[in-house]
Amino acid sequence: MNPIYETGKGHGIGHSLDSFKSRFVDICEEHLKDRKAKSFAFIFYKPENQEIIEILHNPGALMQLDRISGKTLSVFYFQGFNQALQESFNDVFLKAFKINNCHNLPFILFFNVVDSEVTNIEVIELQQQDRMFAFDELRREIEKYSNGLNQLPGQYEKPEVSKMGKITGTVSNIALDKFIEWLMTKGIEKLSQYM
């Protein structure tokens, strides 16, 4: 589990927003090179999704999710209290991933980085609104995706995505150079308004 903090260097684990937005692709490539991950995920949510916020601020819940994702899946999520900054963060990264507004937050966005491209983008909407059931749903989806990766012989093959989550769309590939270019221009300008 890799939190992205509003300001500062985080609390030992995680990234500051400034560091993350400028080094996102490098961070993914480092995780692959150091065998910390085979694939990646973002947990996107709105300020109104209190059940997800409570989970992501609960050390016990994060520890369980971290154990499940292990060295198979690096999971990123925004952790902060500035609602405008969070909404801007969502907007920037969802546009960079070419995710349109037909998806309902909260959701998990799974993706791979292969041969200098972001590939195999899958969106699984999270349905549960009760904190206990929401945690179970989040845990189950991360576990199924991680287990799918562990069962594949190749590091970069696409796992089967759970049928339990609502898959509402996919985007095949995003060239990393275009991804970086978009983040470094439009995305950083937008995020910096709230810093």
* Interval 157-168: pLDDT, tens: 444 444 333 333
Query: What would the DSSP string read from start to end of 71-108?
Result: TTEEEEEEE-S-HHHHHHHHHHHHHHTT--TTSPSSEE
- pLDDT tens readout for residues 132-185: 999 999 999 999 999 888 775 554 444 444 433 333 344 445 655 566 666 666
Taking the model in full, what pTM does it have?
0.79
Note the Cα 125 to chain centre separation in Å: 13
> Binning pLDDT at 50, 70 and 90, where does residue 55 land?
very high
Task: Give the closest residue to 37 by CA, choosing from 3, 68, 74.
Answer: 74
What are the start-end ranges of the H helices in the chain? Answer: 17-33, 50-56, 59-69, 83-96, 131-150, 176-182, 188-192
The structural domains of the chain, with segments of one domain joined by +, span: 2-192
